[in-house]
Structure formats: structure tokens, C-alpha cells
Structure 1
Amino acid sequence: MTAPVRVLLAEDEPLIRAGVRAVLAADPGIEIVAEAADGAEAVELARRHRPDVAVLDIRMPRLDGLAATAEIRRLLPEVAVVILTTFGEDAYISRAVDGGATGFLLKSGDPRELVAGIRAAAEGAAYLSPRVAKRVLDAMGRTVRASKAADRVAVLTARERDVLTLVGEGMSNADIANRLGLVEGTVKTHVSAILTRLGVRNRVQAAILAYEAGMVG
């Protein structure tokens, strides 16, 4: 039996935190190991419990979710971070990506997206909620327009383009391997090469570039 995904939930609004907790508790494949009401507490609990995924609100007291993301990723690079956002927080997205966040989910989104996003993050995939993907592109795409993105992607081999497309769709290395008939180690090598050739730092930035280049609908 597969072990459940261990989740740290950080949200300062008790009502929202209770709602997210209820959604996650209903899934037997997810276990909430700790809850925090501010960013500093989230960092401390992440160090103590070492969850698979930390789900962080952006606006929190003492230490906001962006600073907490960067600190958790610095201290515990194996912990994936998913950001809970709203349509009014587009300006924070680039900072979240720079800090190492691997997923973006809307607080007002479908509960199934929350579960899917957490599972994807736990598997090492970059997850952009369908409704927030365009907002991410609008926020990040100010310096990377579609034509430039297409030029950058053109340096990739055909196989690397296939892999990048699936990264853009939020697939993990294991999922990509199954889809393309490759071994997972080969996919990992392709992903590393893609990040290097495109000059991006992580899978989220690669996924954004795939969207900008029109490789993902």
C-alpha cells in the first residue's frame, strides 16, 4: 500500500484553514501532519515534521508565505511547496517561483484541483491550476513574450520538446516516462538538460515557458 502524502498546511484564516483541512482529510491518500497560522511557524513545523508537501498561504503574519517558501526550500529542498493564491495576488507569483514554489492553487478553486496539485507536487511535478495558469503567465510573461519563448524552445531536440510539453501539463517524471515509453532516469536526464538549455531554474519556469511557446493549451 502506498504511503499517504504528508502535508503541512499553513493558513492564518481559521475558516479557510478548516475548509482546506476538510478537503484533504476526506482523501485517504493525504495525511495532514501539522498546521500553522503564520509563516515562521510553518518553517519551524516543516523542520520538525519534514512533510512531503507544504501548502502555504501568501499573506500571513510574522513571515509571509513567500519568505516561508524560500526558507523551507533552502533548509529542506526535498519538501515541495504549493502556494494558495487569489486572483488579486498575481504580483506575488514571480517571487513565489523564484523562492522555489512548485504549484499554484486558487483558494476558490475546485477541491479536486487542491488534491491533484498536492499529489503532483509530491511526485515532483510542477502544477498550475487551470484557472490560475493564465494569471501565472500574465504575471511571469511580461519579460518573456510568445515569440521569444518559441525561439528559446527551438534549441531543444524533438524528444526534449515532447518532455517539456508534458512538464507543462503538470506531469511527474514517472508519468512522463509512462506516456513516452521511457525509463524514469532517462526522463530525469531530459528534464535536467531542458532546464539548462532553456536557462530556467525549475520545473515551474519551464512549464511557464511551454505555455508561452504555445506547447500547452
Structure 2
Amino acid sequence: MTTPRSKVPNAARRSQSSRRAILTAAFDLAGELGYGRLSIEAIAARAGVGKQTIYRWWPSKGAVLFDAFLMLSEGPEGEAEPAALPDTGDLAADLKAVLRATLTELTDPRISEPMRALTIEVAGDPELAALYAERLDGPVREIKRRRLRVARESGQLSPDVDLDVAIDSIWGPLLNRWLLRTGPLTPEYADALVDTALRGLRPT
């Protein structure tokens, strides 16, 4: 009679499962409770882990929430998923589609409230701001930059257009209106932003 071989737990898989449970809990609780009431204790209880597990990986609730946003762009095993803006050859249509999708996220309380909390935290924490610039804002800006570079090379934008200024011109007003709550966020507003920005960016 043979003895069944005991199963050895996969520590890496277990750690990844705990990590995703923590990040999901942080993201959900930030939307439900607001950032001010979010705590490491609440995250640990929701994720079913001990506080020491969270503190072993993250120094603060702001750092946990930041990684929770990064998780949105990961695949099921924690790998980063490739991303690119649409390129149908029609720059205006592509940008309008992207801004409308951004607007949908910004008006979804489950996403917008944690995002607003993270924005406030980044503004007051230089270390988190540097991490945000390196791991989130920088890569996202490069995705936008690549799409606009293609448009510039194909003659849809002026050859001397500064791509970073173009990015700020297209996305900046939408994010500013969302952050400061200075006006309604509508698909028509998103379309108008693209049309207005492109009038100044296209070849004369």
C-alpha cells in the first residue's frame, strides 16, 4: 500500500493570493468608507489577513491604495498587461473614445472616490508622489505619448508639437474639472476638449 504524497503549499501562489485580497479590500473599502475612515485594521479584516502581513509589504494605507490601482492593470497572475491607445487612423475619434472611457471611470463612485483619495495622498507625500510618477503616471504618459507620436509622424499633428504639452492640453482640463468639481463631466465635454485641443495642435 502506497502512502499518498503530501501536498506542499505553493508559498508564492499563497502570497500572491493574499496580496490581491489585501489590494481588493483596500480598493473596495476606500470606495465604501472614504479614505479618512480607511484603516490598516479594516483592510486586514476584510482581506482575512493579519495587520503584520500588510505592514510587511506596505508602509502605509496610502501605499496599499496606490498598489491597488496598479492591480487594475494586471492580469490574473499579477503580470502587467500591455496597454495602448486605440489607433484607427482617426486621431480625433480615438481620443474622444479614450476621454469618454476616462470620464466613465471618473464618474463611477467605486473608482473615482479611491482615485480622489489617492490623488490627495500623493499631493501630501513626496515619497508616494515619486512612486506614483515612476510606476503609474510615467508609464501611462508614455502610452499617450506613443499614440500622439504616431499622429505627429503621419502629419495629423504639427511636426514641432511638444507631446507632453499636447497630453496636458487634452487630458489636463478633464482631470482638473473632476478633481475640483468645477463643472459637469459629460461625453459632450470630453468631445469638445479633443476638438479644441486638436485645433491648436494640427498643422496650420
Q: TM-score range by the shorter chain?
A: 0.3 to 0.5
Q: Which has the higher contact order (CA 8 A, sep 6+)?
A: 2
Q: TM-score, normalised by structure 2?
A: 0.32
Q: TM-score, normalised by structure 1?
A: 0.31
Query: When you count helix as a share of all residues, which structure comes out higher?
Result: 2
Structure of greater Rg: 2
